[in-house]
Amino acid sequence: MIAVAVALAGAGEGDGRKSETPERERTGSIQGRMMSDTVHARRVETRAGRRDEVGRYGTAWGPGVLMALSLLVAGCQGDRVQSVLHPVSPASHAIATLWWVLLAVCGIYTAGTFALFFYAIFRPKQEQAAPSDGNLFILMGGVFLPFVILLALLIYSTHATTHLQTPETGLTIRVVGHRFWWEVEYPEYGIMNANEIHIPVGEPVRLELRSGDVIHSFWVPQLHGKIDMFPDLTTHFWIQADRAGIYRGQCAEFCGVQHARMAFHVIAMPPEEFAAWVAEKQQPRPDPDAAVFQRGHPVFVRHRCVACHAIRDTDAVARAGPDLTHIGSRRMLGAATRLNTRENMRDWLADPNRIKPGVLMPPTENISEEEIEALVDYMLSLK
Ligand code: CUA
């Protein structure tokens, strides 16, 4: 595009003789060169290139501009959920700055290119007649300038990636992507969780990433870029949050029908709060003497929940589905699909497919009212 416009502007400039060409023919040939491979071009040419036709095409721009604007505005999220442009870590700052620099440079260059483009078409006749050195113009604007700009951007972007390298860090978290949820393990603390990653603020956290089935991609836009998760290969990554808060992450590689609802949250807390969270999650649980356990756990076993889920310190040890040891303290259900309320928990247990069509968890069949209440109580008690 840049080369075409520069060549167009330059070609006319060094080509003064053409000013003798009849108006109709000349305009037609410029328009032909403009967009020879589009339907538009054919339509313009068949209309014999009358200059006023260009104006008439302006009416079709209205809906186009509206559509482009609505797309642009759709990106403006007031609550800053999952936005690359609201970074809270050194890596995401580097990525966001790179994005702005690329946008500015490319935006200015594109504007300049279009200015030349329209100048070539609409400049006054007497200027078209004046001969000038078109070749030098093409060489500078079409070759030298793009080369310098691209080289500068290459050096800058390569330097920016130095901020993305994994720093030395203490805390390691293992995350395994499953269709369609996230297994989260703290090997040094013996804590298992799902769809929520608690981290201390201000410290880089190392991630060991793997997939339990197909390829997924780990992405928390406010904390870092994306990285793929493979079944047979452990990838290493890191995240950091410089501010306490809850940051939404999302699977970024199409992995099946519920790919879009394969989300999670990173919960960044001050270091002392994080230490308290770790200590709390390490407590033995659940209390085998509690009435809620005595009523709920037999239902959990009888209705085959035990075939896929684990609850620490019980006979439930399967790992096909999320570990439920801390299910009661999670903010959301179904990989950040619904808030973890009593009502949603009940709906989820009865038939998860109604909330998340395509989920691999089957409905709990032939369960009585009394049983499901016992099961909901039990789940919510697992803090
Ligand atoms: Cu996992 Cu998309």
Measure 261 CA to ligand 1 centroid, in angstroms.
8
**Where is pLDDT greater, at 58 or 303?**
303
Instruction: Label residue 327 by pLDDT band (50, 70, 90).
Output: very high
Residues 230 and 268 in one domain: yes
**Where is pLDDT greater, at 351 or 163?**
351
Residues 337 and 377 in one domain: yes
Measure 102 CA to ligand 1 centroid, in angstroms.
29
Residues 261 and 178 in one domain: yes
Asked if the structure places residue 242 within a domain, the reply is yes
| End residue of a domain, out of 164, 187, 216 | 164
Contact at 8 Å (CB) between 322 and 194?
Answer: yes
- Angle, CA 152 vertex, CA 147 and CA 155 arms, to 5°: 125
Q: Which two tokens stand for residue 130?
A: 């004046």
Percentage of the residues of the chain whose pLDDT score is greater than 70: 79
> pLDDT at position 52, please?
42
Asked if the structure places residue 69 within a domain, the reply is no
| End residue of a domain, out of 265, 282, 299 | 282
Which residues make Cβ contacts (< 8 Å) with residue 124, sequence separation at least 6? none
> pLDDT at position 142, please?
84
Establish whether residue 134 lines the binding site of ligand 1, counting it when its CB lies within 6 angstroms of any ligand atom.
no
Establish whether residue 254 lines the binding site of ligand 1, counting it when its CB lies within 6 angstroms of any ligand atom.
yes
Percentage of the residues of the chain whose pLDDT score is greater than 90: 52
> pLDDT at position 270, please?
97
Domain CATH number, residue 256 = 2.60.40.420
How many separate domains does the chain show?
A: 3
Note the pLDDT tens digit of each residue in 221-230: 999 999 999 9
Which residue, among 308, 311, 309, 301, has the nearest Cα to 381 in the 3D structure?
A: 311
Residue given tokens 């909901």 in the structure block: 376
Asked if the structure places residue 200 within a domain, the reply is yes
Instruction: Label residue 77 by pLDDT band (50, 70, 90).
Output: low
Q: Is pLDDT above 80 for 43?
A: no
**Mean pLDDT over residues 23-45, rounded?**
38
**Mean pLDDT over residues 83-88, rounded?**
89
Establish whether residue 253 lines the binding site of ligand 1, counting it when its CB lies within 6 angstroms of any ligand atom.
yes
The whole-chain average pLDDT of the chain stands at 81
Note the pLDDT tens digit of each residue in 117-155: 998 888 877 666 555 667 888 888 888 989 999 999 999
> pLDDT at position 71, please?
65
> pLDDT at position 2, please?
43
Task: Tell me the helix, strand and coil percentages in the chain, rounded to 5.
Answer: 50, 15, 35
CA distance 9 to 3: 10
Note the pLDDT tens digit of each residue in 169-189: 779 999 999 999 999 999 999
Note the pLDDT tens digit of each residue in 195-224: 999 999 999 999 999 999 999 999 999 999
Q: Is pLDDT above 60 for 59?
A: no
- Domain containing 249 equals 172-282
Residues 307 and 374 in one domain: yes
Asked if the structure places residue 330 within a domain, the reply is yes
> pLDDT at position 298, please?
92
Measure 333 CA to ligand 1 centroid, in angstroms.
17
| DSSP-assigned states of every residue in 229-271 | E-SS--EEEEE--SS-EEEEEE--S--STTGGG-EEEEEEE-H
> pLDDT at position 49, please?
41
Establish whether residue 251 lines the binding site of ligand 1, counting it when its CB lies within 6 angstroms of any ligand atom.
yes
**Where is pLDDT greater, at 229 or 13?**
229
Residues 337 and 321 in one domain: yes
